[in-house]
Amino acid sequence: MDKRVYGVLGISSIMANWNADFSGYPKTTSDGSTFGSDKAFKYPMKKMWDNEGEKVLYIKSMKISEDKKKGEVQLVPRSLKERYEYLFEGEDLKKCKDSKLVMSNLFKCIDVKNFGATFAEEGNNFSITGAIQFGQGFNKYADTTPEEQQILSPFRDPTKKDGDKEAKNSTLGSKIVSNEAHYFYPFVINPNAYNEYKDMGLTDGYTEDDYIKFKQTSIKAATSHSTNAKMGCENEFGLFVETDSDLYLPDLSQYIEFEKTEETHDKNIITITCSELINDLKDKIKCVEIYINPYTTTLKSEIKGAKIYNIFTQKEV
């Protein structure tokens, strides 16, 4: 692929929790700004790829562990070594002396091909800087607030003593969500990150097919990932600016504004404020594509020649 790609991906979270911290509340910075980590965005993409039968290395998978001496059978997560051996059905990784084979196999994993990897195993210790780099996704909706819901369990707590009042009652739990949040993630794709590995014959480099797979998954994965906490999280925006390989652009998410006004009857307004910057660089820009949810969102953009698509139907609007 002989180009760079700069862009922004937007996630809508309505009465859901896109990315919780260890307290269960949506992640915030020290000044109270709500944000989502890059891991939160990559996870549903990896789940979607895994469901489609692609090789995904960095994802939790389980195995049955038997301890015959103790008579115990447990379900435990695979280690990184075990996950690699599961995907490639090879001999013990510790016995593998062919680092070129291991590295080539890593590049066959779609998550490694896109996001890179830190593979720290005895005898095979590699660090691959990914062709795709994500920033943090900051919420740009001013009226976001967390909501805590009490949930009644159908079961009592068996650890309570018979004399305790709680022993006769069902246990309480809680579910924490945001009333509404809109996250915008910046990203950049630099296919030259793999030139050295390509020269060594370890990979075919980051290709146009790799990019198309990433783009199609990145605008659908959040919508497809319907867990309890993520039900209500959807892809709502995608900006893809394809440029010459020697053009360097800043973080484009800082040029995205989100608001609601009474004039639009609570319809979302997403404004792209870097139109002048992109128009001034038109000789070095190959293509601009914008994906939106037209049923909930009004787009304000003055980027000349930009193609605008329905994020769900993929049809031009």
| Nearest CA-CA partner of 300 in 262, 263, 266, 274 | 274
- Tell me the pLDDT band of 62, cut-offs 50, 70 and 90: very high
- Tell me the pLDDT band of 165, cut-offs 50, 70 and 90: low
- Tell me the pLDDT band of 149, cut-offs 50, 70 and 90: confident
| Nearest CA-CA partner of 224 in 45, 17, 3, 6 | 45
Q: What is the pLDDT of residues 66-116, one digit of tens each?
A: 877 777 888 999 999 999 999 998 778 888 889 999 999 999 999 999 999
- Please compute the mean of the pLDDT values over residues 235-247 and round it to a whole number: 97
Q: Of the given ranges (84-98, 147-161, 179-193, 248-262), which has the lowest mean pLDDT?
A: 147-161
Q: Is the pLDDT of residue 204 over 90?
A: yes
- Tell me the pLDDT band of 170, cut-offs 50, 70 and 90: low
What percent of the chain has a predicted confidence (pLDDT) above 90? 76
d(CA 183, CA 229): 16
Higher per-residue pLDDT: 163 or 199? 199
Q: Is the pLDDT of residue 58 over 80?
A: yes
- Please compute the mean of the pLDDT values over residues 150-162 and round it to a whole number: 71
Any idea what DSSP says for residue 313? Answer: T
d(CA 163, CA 160): 8
- Please compute the mean of the pLDDT values over residues 51-76 and round it to a whole number: 89
Domain spans of the chain? 3-52+131-310
- Please compute the mean of the pLDDT values over residues 233-246 and round it to a whole number: 97
pLDDT of 95: 85
pLDDT of 264: 58
- Please compute the mean of the pLDDT values over residues 210-222 and round it to a whole number: 97
Any idea what DSSP says for residue 254? Answer: G
Q: Is the pLDDT of residue 163 over 60?
A: no
Q: Is the pLDDT of residue 154 over 90?
A: no
pLDDT of 188: 98
d(CA 306, CA 317): 11
CB 211 within 8 A of CB 189: yes
Higher per-residue pLDDT: 98 or 263? 98
What's the mean per-residue pLDDT of the chain? 91
pLDDT of 150: 83
- Please compute the mean of the pLDDT values over residues 131-142 and round it to a whole number: 96
- Tell me the pLDDT band of 213, cut-offs 50, 70 and 90: very high
- Please compute the mean of the pLDDT values over residues 129-137 and round it to a whole number: 97
Helices (H), 52-194: 80-88, 99-107, 110-115
- Please compute the mean of the pLDDT values over residues 151-174 and round it to a whole number: 66
- Please compute the mean of the pLDDT values over residues 220-225 and round it to a whole number: 92
Q: Is the pLDDT of residue 317 over 60?
A: yes
CB 81 within 8 A of CB 57: no
